[in-house]
Amino acid sequence: MKHVTIVVPQGNANLSSITGTYEILTGANAYWQRQGNRPKLAITVAGAVPEVKLDAGFITVHPTLIGTVKKTDLVIIPSAPFSLKLIGENKELIHWIKAQYLNGAEIASMCTGAFLLAATGLLDGKTCSTHWSAENRFKQMFPKINLQPDKLVTAEHGIYTNGGAYSFLHLVLFLVEIYFDRSTAIYCSKVFQIDMDRTSQSPFFIFQGQKNHGDEVVNKAQIYIEQNLRERISFEALAAELAISRRNFDRRFTKATGNTPVEYWQRVKIEVAKSALEKGRKSVYEVMTEVGYSDDKAFRDVFKKLTGVSPLDYRARYSKAF
């Protein structure tokens, strides 16, 4: 039997990712036993303090103290609203998570729980995901980690992460398949009504240009890009206008925003295109030309690269006109 520990961080952890994980794993265990098998998992909810208040104090959780959990096989870190205070309040928990991994446990983080996992140092040099809205902050704080925010689930060296919000359900299904089997995962998919095998959270991205970096030159460049979407921008000329070499411009822009100038330009264009497609009043061709594309294939390729779906599929999914 494998021992699973769902941890409860201090700092208003997301209740649904704790209870949802517990319910699905318990359901998988029950289904497994109904097939004539012995239980696969023993599940504990644990924390560094005996009482944690969640949801603005409306819910109180009384976890088992982590000090009493000497050995576990899988640690699950729920989502929690990120702040530096969150890491400061959970130093004991962070140390315990790292010690468990070094003692052979696997680790799974959900959404912004990746910040707590990253604070252990275990993700350095590895790939992970988190909520798309936390991308810039995460990259700034943990530059040694290969963040892949388009990925719904990542798995590397016994460490599992997932994207944002309720996509934690897909990570739990993934873990069910690992710790039980495919048929049990399918059963849970049907009972809890979770789509199987979704791999990307890209269609749900809302690109937010990073502007709190303090680099005035880059800020001016961002504003220029956003105000000239339909134009053919020469970044060589833009760098010269800002009295900076092209090489230095690219370096500073990438450091400040997490994107190269060309990537930023593309992301802004596609975000505007997404908004227009959601309204449903214009054709894909009209939207394409409004954001400065003249090549249909180039537009479709960039759109699908950044969202995971074609412009037509995106319009069909989100437009009120459909």
pLDDT tens digit sequence for 200-222: 666 566 576 677 788 999 989 99
The predicted pLDDT at position 93 comes to 96
Please report, for the domain that includes residue 48, its CATH number: 3.40.50.880
The predicted pLDDT at position 208 comes to 66
Instruction: Identify the CA nearest to 173 among candidates 190, 156, 159.
Output: 190
Do 16 and 157 lie in a common domain?
A: yes
The predicted pLDDT at position 298 comes to 94
Residues 111-152: tens digit of each pLDDT? 999 999 999 999 999 999 999 888 888 998 999 999 988 888
The predicted pLDDT at position 112 comes to 93
The residue that leads in pLDDT, 210 or 304, is 304
Residues 62-73: tens digit of each pLDDT? 999 999 999 999
Do 81 and 161 lie in a common domain?
A: yes
Could you tell me the residue range of the domain that residue 47 belongs to?
2-202
Position of tokens 């090549």?
295
The residue that leads in pLDDT, 168 or 208, is 168
| Residue 119 CB burial class (10 angstroms; 0-12, 13-18, ≥19) | buried
The last residue of one of the domains, among 202, 233, 266, is 202
Count structural domains, the chain. Answer: 2
Do 224 and 196 lie in a common domain?
A: no
The last residue of one of the domains, among 151, 173, 202, is 202
The last residue of one of the domains, among 144, 170, 202, is 202
The predicted pLDDT at position 203 comes to 59
Do 102 and 187 lie in a common domain?
A: yes
Decide if pLDDT at 80 tops 60. yes
Residues 226-277: tens digit of each pLDDT? 888 888 999 999 999 999 999 999 999 998 888 899 999 998 999 889 888 9
Residue 277 located in a structural domain = yes
Task: Report CA Rg, the chain.
Answer: 22
Decide if pLDDT at 165 tops 90. no
The predicted pLDDT at position 319 comes to 79
Amino acid at position 183, single letter: S
Do 175 and 231 lie in a common domain?
A: no
Decide if pLDDT at 197 tops 70. no
Decide if pLDDT at 321 tops 60. no
End-to-end CA distance of the chain: 49
Decide if pLDDT at 169 tops 60. yes
Q: How confident is the model at residue 182 (pLDDT cuts 50, 70, 90)?
A: confident
CA dihedral 216, 220, 222, 227 (to 10 degrees): 160
Residue 197 located in a structural domain = yes
